Amino acid sequence: MPELPEMETYRRLLQQINGLTITDTHVEREKTINTPPERFAQIVVGNKITLVDRRGKHILFHLENHYVLLLHLMLGGFLYLGTTEDRLERTAQVTLSFGSRILYFHGLRLGYLHLLTTAQIDERLSELGPEPLAPTFTLSHFSSLLSGKRGILKTTLVDQHWLAGIGNCYSDEICFHAGILPTRRIPDLTSEEVAQLFRSLQAVLKEALQFGGYMDTPLYRGDGLTGGFDDRCRVYDRGGEPCPRCKHAIVGDKLSSRKVFYCSHCQN
């Protein structure tokens, strides 16, 4: 499932559609949207994109009529920006056309593209935790959030109500970078370990952003950024491979029905 670095990469690359007018739309799968396709088209078509924003794992397409398209890709979703000539040989659940350019929403069997008012958006996103890369998110803030938790580290890191944007992949990568097992209980962490976790969280997410996250499909033809972090993952989906730090085999396991990957030798 795309996480903060993947969605932020999309946000940055999609700045090229800011100011463009939606000239047409097509809905192949009605369950992907939250309103009848005819009304969806009536509200969306003819409006400019005024802002492409992100909150947690969501992308927000702000329209000039003050509606917002809220995208959550969930598992298997991805975007492609192209034309009818270079489109992918896959069904898109929704498309937004900007003249000859088309934004294809693929793989939204679990994901959605909901049309909401600004008030509805505020309500929908109100329960999300803070953004981990926001300038206001400090070690003090992070420590304060952790101080009230009693559970397992990985389970807490992926809780979107606690902190927005981190999922299975980056929770494991952060814990590996910090040298701390994702299975540790939070009350057992020392203040030094908490500080290291914060530094690792910042370092891993910033590196993932620098290399375009781990999505394996480019956003558009010639996109050389998207997916560059996939080969840089140290432990996620690397079960049985040698640890890049100590060469012991990486453990692949399940934790509360989630995949978890770590090195039992050099993470404590």
Residues 103 and 143 both lie in one domain: no
Q: What SS3 state is found at 93?
A: strand
Closest by CA to 261, choosing from 151, 198, 168, 166, is 168
57 belongs to the catalytic site: yes
Residues 110 and 215 both lie in one domain: no
Written as tens digits, the pLDDT of the chain (268 aa) is 899 999 999 999 999 999 999 999 999 999 999 999 999 999 999 999 999 999 999 999 999 999 999 999 999 999 999 999 999 999 999 999 999 999 999 999 999 999 999 999 999 999 999 999 999 999 999 999 999 899 999 999 999 999 999 999 999 999 999 999 999 999 999 999 999 999 999 999 999 999 999 998 999 999 999 999 999 999 999 999 999 999 999 999 999 889 999 999 999 9
Q: Is residue 131 part of a domain?
A: no
2 belongs to the catalytic site: yes
Residues 106 and 54 both lie in one domain: yes
Residues 117 and 150 both lie in one domain: no
pLDDT at 148: 83
d(CA 26, CA 5) in angstroms, rounded, equals 28
pLDDT at 126: 96
Length of the chain measured in residues = 268
150 belongs to the catalytic site: no
- pLDDT tens sequence across 57-73: 999 999 999 999 999 99
Of the CA atoms within 13 Å of residue 236, those in its CB half-sphere come to: 21
What is the pTM for the complete model shown? 0.96
pLDDT at 31: 97
Residues 150 and 77 both lie in one domain: no
- Given 184, 245, 258, 259, which residue is catalytic? 258
Tally of structural domains, the chain: 2
Q: Which domain holds residue 116?
A: 4-126
Residues 89 and 178 both lie in one domain: no
State both tokens at 182.
């994702």
- Given 57, 154, 218, 238, which residue is catalytic? 57
Q: Is residue 213 part of a domain?
A: yes
